[in-house]
Structure 1
Amino acid sequence: MTVRTLLVGLRVTDLDRSRGFYQALGYIVVGTVPDTPFGSLTMLQLPDDPFVTVELAHDPARPVTDTGGLNHLAIQTDDLHATIATLAAHGIQTDPARPTAGPDEPLVTMVRDPDGYLVELVQWPEGHAVGMTAEDFRSG
């Protein structure tokens, strides 16, 4: 049996504003599904990722009132400072980039999307595998 995480579905209040936020992060809209039990769905994918990873669910009758059930969404970038500058150009402010510990640790920053979901932006140190693996948790 094979199991794989497909995507994270986020309920959004203002679809245009949320779509603009995620597009500023680099996502592209690859499709929509109107009139589902969750509302309309907008499927987002990063340009170098072969798969949809974020779904924006919008139903005007069901606005976001609480984001407490989702701790955060983590997104990898190859240049955190450039990503912060791109977001700033779109009027989106982030925390400053900071290393999580030492020079061999990732740079990270946090930003909130229009509905208040916490988004962690991560730049791995040079030579790190793409993504997070069990190796990241082995004690040295």
Structure 2
Amino acid sequence: MKTLFVSYRVTDLDRSLGFYTALGYAELGRVEVGDGASLVLLAFPGEPAASLELVHRPGDGPVDVGSGFDHLAIQVEALASTLERLTEAGLRPEPLQYPGGPRGPKTSWLTDPDGYRIELVEWPSGHPDGITAADFARGGDPA
């Protein structure tokens, strides 16, 4: 088994598409499901398949993110330049953080138009992509 994608319900599809394309996602395709509802599949350039789906059901009213969802984590190559690009695109990322100390990962937080939180992560040089069991074998929190 493997995770296919994360799906978010969004209040305003155009506003959310503007946010996620500014973040770097590209639209792969969309499915109109009736009554003005649609599903839009997104991926980052270079990804082999969709990694995010935006679900727009205008008849259901505004999205309430609630208390069960925490955040989506996205790996970036160079966080400082990513934050600069996002700021220039009109997004408002939070300041750079070093949650694991100066030799650990660099992070920043961003919130989408519906209130979903996004953690941007730059791993230290030599760290493999993602979080693996090896991160926990070192005895520390990987992020």
Partner of 1:78: 77
1:113 aligns with 2:112: yes
- Secondary structure of the corresponding residue to residue 58 of structure 2: coil
Partner of 1:134: 133
5+ long unaligned stretches in structure 1: none
Q: Does the 8 Å CA contact 1:110/1:118 hold for their aligned counterparts?
A: yes
Separation in 2 of the partners of 1:75 and 1:97?
A: 14
Counterpart AA for 1:114: P
Task: Give 1:124 deviation, angstroms.
Answer: 0.6
User: Cα deviation per residue 1:61-107 (whole Å; 9 max; x = unaligned)?
Assistant: 12343212211000110011111111111211111011112222110
Partner of 2:42: 44
| Pairwise CA RMSD | 1.7
Separation in 2 of the partners of 1:34 and 1:132?
A: 35
Q: Does the 8 Å CA contact 1:12/1:63 hold for their aligned counterparts?
A: no
Task: Give 1:129 deviation, angstroms.
Answer: 0.3
Return the match for 1:8 from 6, 9, 13.
Answer: 6
5+ long unaligned stretches in structure 2: none
Partner of 2:19: 21
Q: How many residues align?
A: 138
Task: Give 1:27 deviation, angstroms.
Answer: 0.5
Task: Give 1:112 deviation, angstroms.
Answer: 0.4
Q: Which runs of 4+ in 1 moved over 2 A?
A: none
Task: Give 1:36 deviation, angstroms.
Answer: 6.2
Partner of 1:32: 30
Separation in 2 of the partners of 1:75 and 1:132?
A: 12
Counterpart AA for 2:44: L
User: TM-score of the superposition, structure 2-length normalised?
Assistant: 0.90
Percent identity of equivalent pairs: 46
Counterpart AA for 1:86: R
User: TM-score of the superposition, structure 1-length normalised?
Assistant: 0.91
Q: Does the 8 Å CA contact 2:10/2:63 hold for their aligned counterparts?
A: no
